[in-house]
A and B are shown apart, each in its own frame.
Chain A
Amino acid sequence: MTQPAIFFEEVNERQGVFHRRAILMGAFAGLGMTALGGRLAYLQLFETQRYEKLATSNQFNFKLLPAPRGVIVDRNGAVLAANRPNFRLMVARDKDMDPEGTIKTLALFVPLDEVRQRRLLKDINSAPKRSPVQVMEDMSWEQFSAINVRAAELPGVTADMGEVRVYPHGGAFAHVIGYVAKVNKEDVDAAGPNPDPIMLHPSFRIGKQGVEKAFDLDLRGKPGAEKVEVDANGRQVREDPEGNIPSIPGKEIQLTLDLDVQLRAEEVFGVESGAAVVMDCRNGDILCMYSGPSFDANKFVRGLTGAEYRALAGYDHKPLFNKALTATYPPGSTFKTMVALAALEHGYNPATVHVCTGHWTFGRVWKCDAVHGAQDLKSAVATSCDIYFYQCALAIGPDKIAETARKFGLGEIFDIGIPGQKKGLVPDTAYKRRRFPKDPKWHPGETPSMGIGQGYTNLNPLQLCVMTARIANGQKALHPRLIRSIGGVEQKSGAAWGDLPVNREHLTFLREAMKAVTTVGTAARVADLGLGPVKMAGKTGTAQHYSYGGGRGVHGTAGAWALRDHAWFVAYAPFDDPKYAIAVLVEHGGFGAAAAAPRAREIMRTVLLKDPEVMQRVQSPTPLPDLPPEIQTEDGLPDAPAPIQAAAPAPGAPAA
């Protein structure tokens, strides 16, 4: 222990080396610490702004919020589609949550049956992490608050208030306005390569039909954003309301439709299948476009069950179809207006007389509903004599009839803003050549059919309403207008078009003939409005759907529904000062005068009763003498009738 093993100088040498090296090591460590300090200075003093930005973009996220969807109103501002608050319950899968346990817990507060629970569990497990799955919609306030109170103990569960589309008038507007529903893959594909990110938001709904679809971008508005602080797992930690970006609500769309008229149309159709279109024949505004039977658009917003959808799609009255636009039918006798006009335009003498014996032989025997006797053009319109029009049509030929019919909008697609219009068909010889290359010749035997609106002729109710409105207007080539304004911007008027290239006198003749229809003709009495001097002029139509010859088709209302004739009625009113035109189709309704005309009468009455000018004529108050201006009060109303006025105290005198 006392004997050093190594010589003294050895020890000294080792100690010396160690001391030098230890100082070196210390210097090395000092250098290292300085380097670290330098790096810190660089990061924290010179680069700090850059890293602050990165930290902020880590810390804050912007959560998209769908904008309130634009409301849709009628011509008077009555709400047709709006938004109502909706308490929703959502569950998102996250790290420390147990989906099964969570659903079991939630089932204590809201009704969730076994099947629904299993379905939800599947949905939650297959959804991307932290992307919410909707458990329930339209919770009551009690359910909403019960879950919100416990939200802290239920990771991944959120109960929030969103907005849901509501159609207060259920089915009346379903075909025109359409509905909104969840975004599906086709919608995203249709949006192009860069779909609006809001489309992926779980509470976003996209327009699927009608106005909701056609003006989806206007109605959608601009989504806002909610500034939230998130942690590294993307979980929301707190909100920062100061940093929220407000959304811009969607534009309000005003339609030309009138709520009362539309509801009346729904009422008069009842369970019948058909369509009614009413236009203002001064400016082309569509006051009513109803297709019956309808469906409740609200159910589509919620999402239809398979059974519900099958019931709607499988019903032979085709409720999902907009029959005003999408379906075309033979126009029947309503087309005789065009045949008569074409005849007049091409020099046909209206005094030409044909005698109706109920039968007429031209290649085969052609029939008429009745034995009308000797008819001229005007009385033939009034009685709707087929035998007269067979011969009238033959006299001028199909091409001239078609040319005139097209001038009145038949076979045309109108830009009314919503999709789904069928063009229909007004046939002519060129059509025959084009369509039937094996038998390209127009046979004379095909012309009589066209003369009574049968054969190839197929039109939709909107086109017949436009035709009637143009006849009634007598001057303008009116176009229908459905969208009155978008976000307050007035749309192009239906009257802003050129004049009809037809002789006004011929139109006056035609209107006189249509007046005869409702006074002495097929629709006499049924079409009387009961509005005093305000009367309606029109034309009935009974369109054969199936050939009677084969024993299938049924004239009138006997027999199977699907085999009956279609009933038509087109009209305008008041007949001495036309303001409104209407076209009513009752699918398989039987006689036009029996099924369509009374419905048209009811709808037209509603239209006229809402028109103050018309009402003034109906009520025809006793005319008052013009009062001198000095007895007017400040607000411009007459104070009292003149004799009492004389006894009243002078203005400015103290009250008794």
Chain B
Amino acid sequence: MTVSALTRPGERDRLIVKLSEIDWLFVLVLSLIAGAGSLMLFSIAGSSWQPWAATHAVRFGLCLVLMVGLAAIDVRVWFALAYPVYGLGVLLLIAVAIFGDTRLGATRWLAVGSFSFQPSEVMKLGIVLALARLYHGAPADRAQLSWWLLIPATMIGVPVVLVAHQPDLGTAMLIALTGASIVVLAGLSWKIIAAGVIGVLATAPPFFLFVMHDYQRERVLNFMHPERDPSGTGYHSLQSMIALGSGGLLGKGYGLGSQSQLNFLPEKQTDFIFATLAEEFGFVGCVSVLVLYGAAIYMALRTSYLSHSHFGRLAAAGVTATFTLYVMINGAMVMGLAPVVGVPMPMLSYGGTVMMTVMIGFGLVQSVRVHRYSEVTSGKGSFV
């Protein structure tokens, strides 16, 4: 197919063309990460496909199909669905607060028949879509510094408060930071950014003292002083660092990680899978996986760079921000640089919800890439 062929009207609407426009190198990188995940899950199950490795691989395959399918959906459809998805997300969060299931002291799940899910996952995507759509119709000066900014602030604030109330501080922080990155990317004034950073730093101590739950405070304290309680909540951090450190340059060998194989490492198949990888494959293995993550982030961000529509740019960049935050927070947590917050390593950790959220997000990113020349109708005046 020649470049000239792609300029023909209607040519880009053909499915085969759309599929060829997907960033298949990106797909390869994601597959490599998910493959590494399956490899580690196979190892920690004692060289067995059960109970994790096979499920992980199958889930990834299904999510990949879903992603390709979503990539083919016109970015204008995403655009039109932006507010409904966000609105649905807020309603579900309110429903959780009222009807939700309480597990381990947190009300995060909503049961529909025998199926239960966390509405906060919907909001991770919803906030990206809604803010991208909002900013799509906003001129630069508004986005920079104006009273209008209270609208995006409210749009971020409502779900963050609802999720934090569950309480799920990790997800609330993720949503807040994702929203904030979109606001910053859309051109927020440096003055407000500086003021915001100072504000967060100033309110952190009282927040820590008066708003946080005891277990959350414990985690933060244990992070700052891991020797405080080496067998209690500080245990996770300590054991993770032991797994990492003892891996050395080349690791202990596949299936030979004593920390993970003997269960010293908690949540070894989910939040702390990176530590398993570090123990068995060492520094070389870890850096290789980090390079894959870096490549994925670069490619996703480049997609946002190429988009001709503001909605597309912000949506792709927002998803990239979420993904980056996942990697950063989990990495920092596993390496003892952040408190234990229960954020998994996307694609590597076992767990269907996060993988689905991330892959739907990447479906949006690929849709933006496939439809990067599409003109998106401004929503100006229609909702705002």
Contact = CB atoms under 8 A, between A and B. Distances in A.
Contact of B241 (A5, A19, A43): A43
A22 B304 contact: yes
A232 B324 CA distance: 32
A142 B189 CA distance: 84
B298 interface: yes
Interface stretch (A33-41, A259-267, A369-377, A582-590): A33-41
Contact of A43 (B239, B264, B335, B377): B335
Residue of B246, B286, B321 with highest tally of chain A CB at under 10 A? B246
Contact of B245 (A4, A5, A36, A47): A47
Contacts of B380: 5-6
B294 to A, nearest CB: 5
A45 B262 contact: no
Given A22-B305, A30-B294, A237-B262, A44 B248 contact: yes
A231 B249 CA distance: 24
- Contact-residue bracket for chain B: 35 or more
Contacts of A19: 305
A173 B320 CA distance: 85
B187 A18 contact: yes
Contact of B247 (A48, A56, A230): A48
Given A33-B294, A43-B244, A44-B282, A232 B263 contact: yes
Interface string A218-247: 000000000001111100010000000000
A21 to B, nearest CB: 5
Contacts of B70: none
B123 to A, nearest CB: 21
B246 A45 contact: no
B164 interface: no
B143 interface: yes
A304 B243 CA distance: 51
A40 B286 CA distance: 8
Interface string A555-578: 000000000000000000000000
Contact of B249 (A5, A26, A45): A45
Contacts of A44: 244-245, 247-249, 278, 282-283, 286
Q: Is the interface of A mostly helix, strand, loop or mixed?
A: helix
Nearest to B262: A231
B263 A25 contact: no
A623 B332 CA distance: 102
A381 B190 CA distance: 124
Contact of B262 (A6, A26, A51, A232): A232
A187 interface: no
Contact of A59 (B241, B262, B335): B262
Interface in B130-151: 137, 139-140, 143
B185 A22 contact: yes
A637 interface: no
B248 A52 contact: yes
B283 A45 contact: yes
A50 interface: yes
A54 B335 CA distance: 16
B64 interface: no
B248 A21 contact: no
Contacts of A14: 139-140, 143, 186-187, 310
Contacts of B310: 11, 14-15, 18
A51 B265 CA distance: 14
A18 B249 CA distance: 40
Interface string B228-255: 0000000000010111111111000000
Interface string B280-304: 0011001100100110011001001
Contact of B332 (A36, A43, A51): A36
B258 A59 contact: yes
A10 interface: yes
Interface string B315-337: 00100110010011001100111
B361 to A, nearest CB: 16
Contact of B259 (A21, A41, A55): A55
Contact of A18 (B137, B185, B258, B337): B185
B297 A29 contact: yes
Interface of B: 137, 139-140, 143, 181, 184-187, 239, 241-249, 258-259, 262-264, 278, 282-283, 286-287, 290, 293-294, 297-298, 301, 304-305, 310, 313-314, 317, 320-321, 324, 327-328, 331-332, 335-337, 375, 377-378, 380
27 contacts: A2-B375, A5-B137, A14-B139, A15-B313, A17-B187, A18-B304, A25-B185, A26-B297, A33-B290, A33-B293, A39-B335, A40-B287, A40-B335, A44-B245, A47-B245, A48-B246, A50-B245, A51-B242, A54-B242, A54-B245, A55-B259, A58-B258, A58-B264, A59-B258, A230-B262, A232-B262, A237-B262
Given A33-B290, A55-B243, 9 more contacts: A17-B143, A21-B186, A22-B301, A22-B305, A25-B320, A40-B286, A44-B247, A54-B246, A237-B262
